[in-house]
């Protein structure tokens, strides 16, 4: 009965999601930080090296299916967040144009009014 690498994930959030799913199926997981990840986690509160998750060989197939399911859900969430971000950017552009359309005529009026006064003073 050996232990084998299930998946490598980039951050704590994804590792936690997969570990939770595997715990629900009573599949034990061993977590190992890559490189200097453990030290960086302690020092900075996060690691850029990623996390390796290991499971027993007899649970590997079920664990892969569950991990794949989690990554699909994560991908769907990423797509939803991207769509929401695009919608926010669109609303910002609309607000910016509305502000410009309201401010520019007022500025033009001030410039023209002040030019008339300046010309009348110079004569």
Domains identified in the chain and CATH numbers: 3-122 (3.30.70.1530)
Question: Which DSSP helix (H) or strand (E) runs through 8?
Answer: strand 3-9
Over the stretch 17-69, which tens digit does the pLDDT of each residue have? 888 888 898 999 988 887 766 656 666 666 667 888 999 989 888 888 888 77
**pTM score, whole prediction:** 0.53
The neighbour count for residue 71, using CB atoms within 10 Å, is: 15
Structure tokens at 98: 């509305």
């Amino acid at each position: 009965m050996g232990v084998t690498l299930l998946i490598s994930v980039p951050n704590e959030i994804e590792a936690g999601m997969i570990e939770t799913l595997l715990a629900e199926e009573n599949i034990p997981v061993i977590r190992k930080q890559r490189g200097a990840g453990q030290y960086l986690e302690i020092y900075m509160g996060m690691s850029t090296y990623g996390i390796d998750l290991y499971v027993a060989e007899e649970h590997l197939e079920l664990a892969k299916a569950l991990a794949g399911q989690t990554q699909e859900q994560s991908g769907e969430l990423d797509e939803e967040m991207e769509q929401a971000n695009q919608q926010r950017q669109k609303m910002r552009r609309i607000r910016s144009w509305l502000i410009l359309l309201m401010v520019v005529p007022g500025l033009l009026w001030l410039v023209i009014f002040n030019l008339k006064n300046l010309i009348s003073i110079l004569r």
